[in-house]
Amino acid sequence: MDVIITFTKPKGKFVPISWLIRLFDGFSKYSHVALEWDCAYTNLSSAYHASGSNVHLLNKPLFDKKIVRIKKYTFTLTEEEILKHFAFYHKHAGTTYSQKQILGIFLCKIGLAKSNPFTDGSHGQVCSEVVGRWLLEVKGIDVGSDLDNTGPKQIDQFLSKLDECK
């Protein structure tokens, strides 16, 4: 099974949070990152991300109506990793979206804080934290940065250096 880490932006025209994320990430083309996969067992396509009020799973056709894909990386999972993948998404589903954490990341980016004052481990998560935790828990890959202070651009920069993803 392949899992795609996809970098996106919303399709909507008035999306100030997306604009701010892209601005503070050096005019990035994307503001969000998610996991996507097609499941041979169920014949369904899914997207998994932190957005709105929590971490959740969406059917891919619904996700497609809301986003524009900018960039992607594909990982092929072993049988053992597939089990870890499904355990991961059950374990983290429903975790609160950490709005304070986004504020803390902004404070760091504009120089008002040296580290995120709103870190909370895995109790509340943002999109890039979900992907970073997935890389660690499923693939055994540590992105090498504090996930409470990591945005989509840092995940992309890390993945661009990996030989393992396509």
Q: Looking at the predicted structure, is the pLDDT value of residue 44 above 90?
A: no
Question: What's the domain count of the chain?
Answer: 1
Q: At what angle do helices 16-24 and 99-109 cross, to 10 degrees?
A: 40
Residue 26: per-residue pLDDT: 85
Give domain status of residue 165, yes or no: no
Give domain status of residue 120, yes or no: yes
Give domain status of residue 164, yes or no: no
What is the arithmetic mean of pLDDT over 117-132? 83
Whole domain around residue 58: which residue ranges?
Answer: 2-159
Residue 99: per-residue pLDDT: 81
Give domain status of residue 155, yes or no: yes
| Per-residue pLDDT tens over the stretch 49-103 | 999 889 999 999 999 999 999 999 999 999 999 999 999 999 999 988 888 887 8
Taking the C-alpha atoms of residue 120 and residue 126, their distance in angstroms, rounded to an integer, is: 11
Q: Looking at the predicted structure, is the pLDDT value of residue 12 above 90?
A: no
Give the global pTM.
Answer: 0.91
Give domain status of residue 125, yes or no: yes
Residue 72: per-residue pLDDT: 96
Based on its alpha-carbon atoms, the radius of gyration of the chain, rounded to whole angstroms, reads 15
| Per-residue pLDDT tens over the stretch 132-144 | 999 999 999 999 8
Which residue did the predictor score with more confidence, 120 or 4?
A: 4
The CATH code of the domain that includes 155 is: 3.90.1720.10
